[in-house]
């Protein structure tokens, strides 16, 4: 029992607590040490047994999840996975939770949809395992950007989106999971406005990716948005794969664009980094740079190898700068990484990608 991951569930819904408990206790390596209806009850349980991971609801009576998260991270840091509903307010709060130190996000299970529960089990259990492997000394609140985005750097069309009339010969594909929101923020805020077009898969639930993209767009000199089907990949633009949808790169003549579509889980994820990387290997070949960053599991390792074999430059984030050295480690083990680099060097590699 001592080798199991000890989890504390904090949610004001008795039904959600019951479902999460059933999901987690069905796994041999996970133990639910308690389920609390609010942070006060959770604190009492934590005084008796310290959990390895906390599953924390955002909206609760007496004390909200964000306030409790701040107290946990400032007083007795423990890996926290936020559990949120798919609402606009929930997405905004979830983004703040990542800034406060939460390691990842999951959506509340839909208890009346069997197919959803089957996929939810994979995602929830994987999130708990990843959180248990997190190096908390590498988790910090993102630095504030000293200067506002230059208006001249982002030209908006009437629809509010960047005018996508350019083409680019070089494209960048990035994959990340646990710890990736923090790492991506550090990389993207360091980039100038004229970098090659970038497509990103960050493992996040649906709707949260749009909020994450909007948050980055306010901080970066490049234009960041959630990818939509048929978006053109252009210089100075970052497209983030929408949660729960696979995103692929395609090419028509000199134009690179993305295809956003449904499909089964690949490498236990949707969107999958492997799906993105394999499409880049096929349609961009040596005109691409692939970057695999912090995260649990092996999603992206096979795809990055295909990119390298197709002539692309490939980089894996190094162990020292990773929150979880899982995905990069697998890529390195399989010979997919042409270079191993610290997080601080990745922005520079992207700038040099088309030189």
Distance CA 279, CA 247 (A): 9
C-alpha to C-alpha distance for 124 and 128, rounded to whole angstroms: 6
Which of 52, 299, 318, 321 is flagged as catalytic? 299
Q: For residue 179, what are its two tokens? A: 């710890």
- Write the CA distances from 292 to 94, 125, 342, integer angstroms: 24, 22, 11
Could you confirm whether 194 is annotated as catalytic? no
Q: With beta carbons less than 8 A apart as the criterion, state whether 273 and 257 touch.
A: no
Q: Which of 11, 203, 215, 318 is catalytic?
A: 203
269 is catalytic: no
Does residue 246 carry a catalytic annotation? no
Q: SS in 3 state form for the chain?
A: CCCCEEEEEECCCHHHHHHHHHHHHCCCCEEEEEEECCHHHHHHHHHHCCCCEEEEECCCCCCCHHHHHHHHHHHCCCCEEEEECCCHHHHHHHHHHHHHCCCEEEECCCCCCHHHHHHHHHHHHHHHHHHHCCCHHHCCCCCCCCCCCCHHHCCECCCCCECCCCCCCCEEEEEECCCHHHHHHHHHCCCCCCCCEEEEEECCCCCHHHHHHHHHHHHCCCEEEECCCCCECCCCEEEECCCCCEEEEEEECCEEEEEEECCCCECCECCCHHHHHHHHHHHCHHHEEEEECCECCCCCHHHHHHHHHCCCEEEEECCCCCCCECHHHHHHHCCCCCEEECHHHHHHHHHCCCC
Catalytic-labelled residue, pool 177, 215, 272, 279: 177
Catalytic residues: 177, 203, 299
């Amino acid at each position: 029992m001592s080798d199991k991951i000890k989890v504390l569930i904090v949610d004001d819904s008795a039904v959600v607590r019951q479902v999460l408990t059933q999901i987690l206790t069905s796994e041999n390596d996970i133990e639910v040490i308690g389920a609390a209806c609010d942070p006060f009850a959770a604190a009492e349980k934590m005084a008796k047994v310290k959990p390895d991971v906390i599953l924390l609801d955002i909206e609760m009576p007496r004390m909200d999840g964000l306030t409790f998260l701040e107290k946990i991270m400032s007083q007795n840091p423990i890996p926290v996975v936020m559990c949120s509903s798919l609402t606009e307010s929930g997405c905004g709060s979830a983004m703040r939770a990542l800034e406060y130190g939460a390691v990842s996000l999951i959506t509340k299970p839909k208890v009346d949809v069997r197919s959803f529960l089957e996929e939810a089990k994979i995602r929830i259990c994987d999130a708990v395992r990843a959180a248990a492997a997190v190096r908390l000394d590498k988790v910090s609140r993102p630095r504030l950007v000293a200067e506002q985005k230059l208006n001249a750097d982002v030209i908006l069309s009437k629809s509010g989106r960047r005018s996508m009339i350019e083409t680019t010969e070089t494209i960048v594909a990035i994959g990340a999971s646990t710890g990736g929101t923090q790492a991506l923020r550090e990389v993207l805020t360091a980039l100038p406005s004229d970098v090659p077009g970038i497509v990103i898969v960050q493992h996040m639930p649906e709707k949260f990716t749009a909020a994450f993209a909007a948050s980055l767009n306010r901080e970066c000199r490049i234009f960041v948005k959630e990818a939509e089907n048929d978006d053109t990949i252009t210089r100075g633009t970052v497209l983030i794969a929408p949660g729960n949808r696979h995103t692929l790169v395609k090419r028509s003549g000199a134009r690179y664009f993305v295809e956003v579509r449904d499909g089964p889980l690949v490498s236990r994820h949707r969107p999958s980094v492997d799906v993105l990387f394999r499409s880049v290997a096929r349609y961009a070949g040596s005109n691409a740079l692939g970057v695999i960053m912090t995260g649990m599991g092996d999603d992206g390792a096979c795809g990055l190898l295909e990119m390298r074999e197709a002539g692309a430059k490939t980089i894996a984030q190094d162990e020292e700068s990773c929150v979880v050295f899982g995905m990069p480690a697998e890529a390195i083990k399989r010979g997919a990484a042409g270079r191993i680099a610290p997080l601080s060097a990745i922005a520079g590699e992207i700038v040099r990608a088309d030189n």
